[in-house]
Amino acid sequence: MTGTPTAPPAPPLRAVLFDRDGTLVHDVPHNGDPERVRVVEGAAAALARVRDAGLATAVVTNQGGIGLGLLTRAQVDAVHARVDVLLGPLGPWLVCPHAPGAGCGCRKPAPGLVLQAAAALGVRPEECAVVGDIGADVEAALAAGARPVLVPTPVTRAEEVEAAPAVAGDLAGAVDLLLGTAPPPARDPVPATRGGA
């Protein structure tokens, strides 16, 4: 009697794509001022571990304020330059400049930014992970064939957390999951070695 077919093993992870606002830096809506950039606690250490593991990095970020006329692409680029100074070079920055509702294929939850980042890094989307703080990041990853990890913040909706395939409490936990260094979940408090039959 044959068992249930097993899914093929996931391809090796070669790149980690990060959301910007709420993930790497604290969210300042439509920020065009590099002086207002504040990195999330633990971001530098998490990125160092990703780099030490030999994985490429990139950032995938919706910046609808450009399309709404609230800030310029030059201002957004200046903010990104500041993040690179604070956290080290993050690789290519893939930006959707379109306003919400514009119907583009790049604004998350559409997969465009993830696909662009994979192409820029020379890897396949399924060799990428996407780390973000809201459901749109998870949906973009899944739509592109990448593996998502949600790191919730106070603005993350409960249903987004419930729907996410993988959830971590912070960036360090997300890296643990991706590198396979997370401790196994606590299930049975009974010691593994048991006496008797």
Residue pLDDT, tens place only, 76-134:
999 999 999 999 999 999 999 999 999 999 999 999 999 999 999 999 999 999 999 99
Domain residue extents for the chain: 40-179
- pLDDT higher than threshold 50 for residue 195: no
Q: Which residues form the catalytic set?
A: 19, 21
CATH code of the region 40-179:
3.40.50.1000
Top pLDDT among 192 and 105 is at: 105
Q: Which amino acid is at 140?
A: A
Kindly state the percentage of the chain with pLDDT values over 90: 86
SS3 content of the chain, % helix, strand, coil (to 5): 35, 15, 50
Per-residue pLDDT tens over the stretch 3-30: 566 666 778 999 999 999 999 999 999 9
Q: What are phi and psi of 115, to 5 degrees?
A: -65, -40
Tokens of 137: 């990041």
- pLDDT higher than threshold 90 for residue 42: yes
- What Cα–Cα distance (Å) separates residue 137 from each residue in 5, 36, 189, 190? 30, 23, 35, 38
Q: What are phi and psi of 95, to 5 degrees?
A: -120, 130
Q: What are phi and psi of 10, to 5 degrees?
A: -65, 145
Q: What are phi and psi of 30, to 5 degrees?
A: 50, 45
